[in-house]
């Protein structure tokens, strides 16, 4: 346990090192929200009571703000590190040392995300306050509590998804921009850009059978009051189900991949 705690602390220090970079990445994350805010405002212009594609103006603004923050909150980046480790022989040290790679990556990731997460959670609190006071959205404490629980599960789920994506590097000769292409598609299917309803009812329902929706769309729709209590409870269970299933898949991939692994380099 001690060793993973150290990794966690190293992760924090790592994140602290590039502070300017962190701040600027936050600034560039504001643009999409800004663009989408103007887009929706101009579409609903003068008619804030209108319901377009199932959303009122307040709901779509809440969705835009929240989805952008949540997708930033759960975002990973370690799939490139995994690829590096596999391609350049970084895994060697895990073969000879009593350190589990999965736990190592998890604790390092948690450390790296800690400060950003704290910052984003504060931001979410601010947005919730804004929605309540400025837009008069109905929010009770129970719903907010369940929302944060679903965020935690979404965070774990997304970690598992991208850890499995990273495992692909065992089989691919060269990764190139593949991870970036996969990331864009996953964000889209998670509802990180627009609500999933814009894909149409059929596709939207089909996406319910994949794990991606439960990382962004589900928590955001939850706070948006667009889910009934039943759907809400079911969603949480589906999140847990996918986390367990993907953990199993990642383990299998890891075991199969390790057999293929050729220790390159020193």
Partner 1 sequence: MREALSEMKKHGYLYGLFLKNSLIAQLEYRANFITGILMECGYLVVKILYVVVFYISGKTVNGLSPDASLLFIGTFVTITGFYAGLFMMNFFELRHQINSGSMDLLITKPVSLQFILTLRRADVGIMAVDILAGLVMVAVGWSRLKIPFDLVNALGFLGFLCGGAVVGYALFLLPQICSFWFIETSAISEVTDAFWDFNLVPMLVYDRLIQRIGTFVLPIFVVTNFPALFVLGRMNRIYIIWGIAAPFLMLGLTRLFWNYAVRHYTSASS
**Contacts to partner 1 by CB under 8 A:** 20-21, 24-25, 27-29, 31-32, 35, 38-39, 42-43, 45, 52-53, 172-178, 180-181, 184-185, 188, 193-194, 198
Given a contact cutoff of 8 angstroms between Cβ atoms, the answer to whether 216 and 190 are in contact is yes
Rounded CA Rg of the chain: 20
In whole angstroms, how close is the CB of 178 to partner 1 at the nearest point?
4
CA 239 to the chain's CA centroid: 13
In whole angstroms, how close is the CB of 150 to partner 1 at the nearest point?
24
CA distance 6 to 53: 49
In whole angstroms, how close is the CB of 206 to partner 1 at the nearest point?
17
Question: Which lies closer to partner 1 via its Cβ, residue 171 or residue 241?
Answer: 171
CA distance 71 to 220: 10
Neighbours of 256 (CB within 10 A): 12
Question: Which lies closer to partner 1 via its Cβ, residue 39 or residue 118?
Answer: 39
In whole angstroms, how close is the CB of 29 to partner 1 at the nearest point?
8
Question: Which lies closer to partner 1 via its Cβ, residue 110 or residue 188?
Answer: 188
CA distance 135 to 63: 13
CA distance 233 to 230: 5
In whole angstroms, how close is the CB of 45 to partner 1 at the nearest point?
7
Question: Which lies closer to partner 1 via its Cβ, residue 2 or residue 42?
Answer: 42
Q: How many residues does the chain have?
A: 266
Question: Which lies closer to partner 1 via its Cβ, residue 36 or residue 158?
Answer: 36
């Amino acid at each position: 346990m001690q060793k993973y705690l150290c990794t966690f602390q190293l992760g924090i220090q790592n994140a602290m090192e590039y502070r300017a970079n962190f701040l600027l990445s936050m600034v560039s994350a504001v643009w999409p929200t800004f663009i989408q805010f103007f887009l929706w405002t101009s579409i609903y212009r003068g008619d804030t009571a209108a319901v377009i594609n199932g959303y009122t103006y307040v709901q779509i603004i809440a969705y835009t703000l929240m989805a952008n923050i949540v997708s930033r909150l759960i975002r990973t980046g370690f799939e490139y590190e995994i690829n590096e480790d596999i391609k350049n022989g970084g895994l060697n040290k895990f073969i000879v040392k009593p350190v589990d790679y999965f736990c190592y990556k998890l604790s390092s990731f948690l450390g790296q995300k800690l400060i950003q997460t704290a910052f984003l959670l504060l931001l979410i609190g601010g947005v919730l306050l804004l929605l309540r006071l400025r837009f008069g959205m109905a929010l009770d404490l129970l719903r907010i509590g369940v929302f944060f629980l679903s965020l935690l599960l979404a965070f774990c789920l997304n970690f598992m998804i991208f850890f499995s994506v990273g495992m692909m590097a065992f089989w691919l000769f060269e990764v190139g921009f593949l991870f970036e292409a996969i990331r864009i598609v996953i964000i889209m299917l998670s509802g990180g850009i627009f609500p999933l309803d814009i894909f149409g009812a059929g596709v939207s329902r089909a996406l319910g059978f994949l794990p991606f929706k439960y990382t962004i769309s589900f928590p955001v729709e939850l706070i948006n009051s667009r889910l009934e209590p039943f759907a809400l409870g079911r969603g949480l269970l589906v999140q847990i189900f996918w986390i367990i299933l993907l953990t199993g898949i990642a383990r299998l991939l890891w075991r199969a991949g390790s057999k293929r692994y050729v220790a390159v380099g020193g």
